[in-house]
Structure 1
Amino acid sequence: MVILYVVLGVVALVGLSVVVMYNRFVRQRVLIDSSWGGIDVELTRRHDLIPNLVSTVQGYATHEREVLTALTAAREQATAHQSDAPAARQQFEEQVGQTLGTVLARAEAYPELKASANFLDLQHQLTDTENRIAAARRFYNLNVGAYNTRVRTFPSNVVAGMFSFGLRDIFEVSDVTVRQNPEVSL
């Protein structure tokens, strides 16, 4: 009889452990989806600011048309892929960021544009949005990292396999020039 109680206790303990691990996977998956939503909100905000920036710069620098056209095209491509998974969407968002940086850098050559209150406000909003995107990306990647670690480690990897909890993609910068330290010459 004692053996039966011990066996039932072990089975109950294993069952409770599986339930706890399963629930934690579900919570982490929801947190990842929620943190991706934070990135998506900021990327959408950046997409919404770009037409205003383009029209403001066009008024001052009409011969920068090819850069502005490239920015508009990059925005349209990124917007067309908004429903894609993070890994698939990453390249389009990086293109928007790179082209946006080019537009802002070229705007430095136009003193009257730099003095425009509208341009300065848009530049501030875009800088703030880029900072928010970076923060949201860090939060998302931390959550994905914790989740992926649980998917790969024992004993939670057994539960992950039983209930099809697979690895999630991180959302990282793949452009190597962004990761390099800038050269500063004085």
Structure 2
Amino acid sequence: ERSVAATPDAPPQPHWPAVGADDVLPLPRTRLRWTSERLGGRRTVRVHPAGGGGPLVLLLDGDDWLYLHPAATAFDSAVESGEMPPVTLVFLPARDRAAEFGCRPGLWEAVREELLPLVAESGVPADADRLVVAGQSLGGLSALYAAVEFPGLVSRVACQSPSVWWTPEAVDLADPLGGPLGGTLAAR
């Protein structure tokens, strides 16, 4: 289900159309089948050049941005209005959020060595030398981790409420917030 909470004095969001629970959002035409040796398994990655392409914006939890929120529509609108430059959106779905988005190098090695070459081979206009990673919650922590541990790969991050408290053992603790102050990333 979709739900949006906004107060009467919330700033306008002209590029994000209202979406009803029964609405079907448009999907990007470019669909890549990524079989990852590093991560194991196969996933479908969607790619959308907003405004003709530009820096790659890797959206973690990509399926949420495809099926629950109209990200492609919002980016198209913002680029068309001149409020942001063209970008190429890459919607990366998670198979196992805790395993992939935790502070572990496997995901980012796979992105560097497998996914970015796959995107380049697709012919979609993109500047893979400028990778922006966007994530929320555990995905936000993963974006921060990528910026710290893979600075040659990630040029910018956008994090919404990153789970900076998280540690790999957190899910098994009686008090998941009882780990080191600032979690694994801060402990580095």
TM-score (norm 2): 0.24
- Relative contact order, higher structure (CA 8 A, sep 6+): 1
Specify the structure having the higher radius of gyration (Cα): 1
Higher helix fraction (1 or 2): 1
Higher strand fraction (1 or 2): 2
TM-score (norm 1): 0.25
